[in-house]
Amino acid sequence: MYKIGVVGAGHLGRIHIKILQNADFVNLVGFYDIDRQVREKINVEFGVKAFESYSSLIEECDIIDIVTPTLSHYNCAKQALHSFKHIFIEKPVTHTLDEVRKLIKLSNKYGLKAQVGHVERFNPAFIEAKKRIKNPRFIEVHRLAQFNSRGTDVSVVLDLMIHDLDIILHLVKQPVKCIYASGVSVMSDTPDIANARIEFINGCVANITASRMSLKNIRRSRFFQKDTYLSVDFLNKKYEYISLEEVEETNIYEPSDEFGKNRRKKIIVHSDKSNEINPIEEELKSFVGSIKSNENPVVDLRSGQNALQLAIEIAEQITMPQN
């Protein structure tokens, strides 16, 4: 069984440690955090070995799970790759595009696996809805969160919106034609609410709103395509769709000649709550599986780079001086 270590024991790092401690697909050997008090606290709370240095943790592992602040992602990943360790790295993959390009070269050079923590790819509601998403023409996204000072060192685009940018790029698979973005700072020095309208060369349009100034949490995406409307509630792991489907029954909806004289279609409404699986556990399990099978990870560094590049373009447009 592969041995894994976690670097970074903040809010999300604690979640990773707890999941990996109980996992049956990998062996958690311990963790490292730069803050000694945090190391001592987590060691007592979870009974997991706290390493005194990052290098000593690396020596004991096959895989390094990087859950540190974004600014340190690159250095942590580089050190692990140079030590011939596979890496799982939280989103956004790095602080700059140049950094992720260097990591791609390193992982390829050493033949190591690397996965980025775009966890919504593993949300059970999205997994089910994705089976019906063929050629989306319009996408509407709302990702709203209650204010929390954690994460405000970066724009809401890199903090929250990037989740949806990855999903959209994964589904549309087309180059971006143009971007229109705006945003404002409310409680922090970086934008706390942002909106982006993205047009792709195939005509698909995505309208995304991300905010960390909401009274309640909402993570919902709507996809519109020929004959089908789909809604994915990422927060509650629910999805629904409305579609027009050809049927042979006599008790059907025949709206007009636009469907053809001999064609019959029926409105199908479906709603379902997906299985109660933990997306973070699923993404970690998937990564370990890709190492075992020597297959490309579901969310590789190139995917992380694409999402980061689009997020940076949106963030730069928001911060550009207005004429």
pLDDT digits over 210-239, tens only? Answer: 999 998 999 999 999 998 999 999 999 999
- Is 172 in contact with 105 (CB distance < 8 Å)? no
Q: What is the CATH number of the domain that holds 42?
A: 3.40.50.720
User: Is the model's pLDDT at 196 over the cut of 50?
Assistant: yes
Tell me the two tokens of residue 74: 């690159």
Indicate whether 90 and 138 sit together in one domain: no
Task: For the chain, count helices (H), then strands (E).
Answer: 10, 13
**Span 264-269, mean pLDDT?**
75
Kindly report, residue by residue over 144-180, the tens digit of the pLDDT: 998 877 666 678 999 999 999 999 999 999 999 999 9
**Span 301-322, mean pLDDT?**
90
What phi and psi values does residue 297 have, to the nearest 5 degrees? -60, 155
Locate all alpha helices (DSSP H) within the chain, ordered by sequence.
11-21, 36-46, 54-59, 73-82, 97-110, 124-130, 156, 162-172, 279-293, 301-319
Which H/E stretch holds residue 182? strand 176-184
pTM (predicted TM-score): 0.90
Indicate whether 271 and 164 sit together in one domain: yes
| C-alpha closest to that of 313 among 160, 198, 205, 187 | 198
Cα–Cα dist 289/286, whole Å? 5
Question: Which pLDDT band holds residue 320 (cuts at 50, 70, 90)?
Answer: low
Residues ≥6 apart with Cβ < 8 Å to 313? 176, 179
- Give the chain's mean pLDDT: 91
**Span 275-282, mean pLDDT?**
90
Residues ≥6 apart with Cβ < 8 Å to 39? 9, 31, 32, 33, 50, 52
Kindly report, residue by residue over 48-77, the tens digit of the pLDDT: 999 999 999 999 999 999 999 999 999 999
Cα–Cα dist 205/219, whole Å? 19
Indicate whether 67 and 100 sit together in one domain: yes
State the total domains in the chain.
2
Indicate whether 138 and 244 sit together in one domain: yes
Residue 256, domain extent? 121-275+310-319
State the virtual CA torsion across 33, 38, 41, 43 in degrees, nearest 10: 10
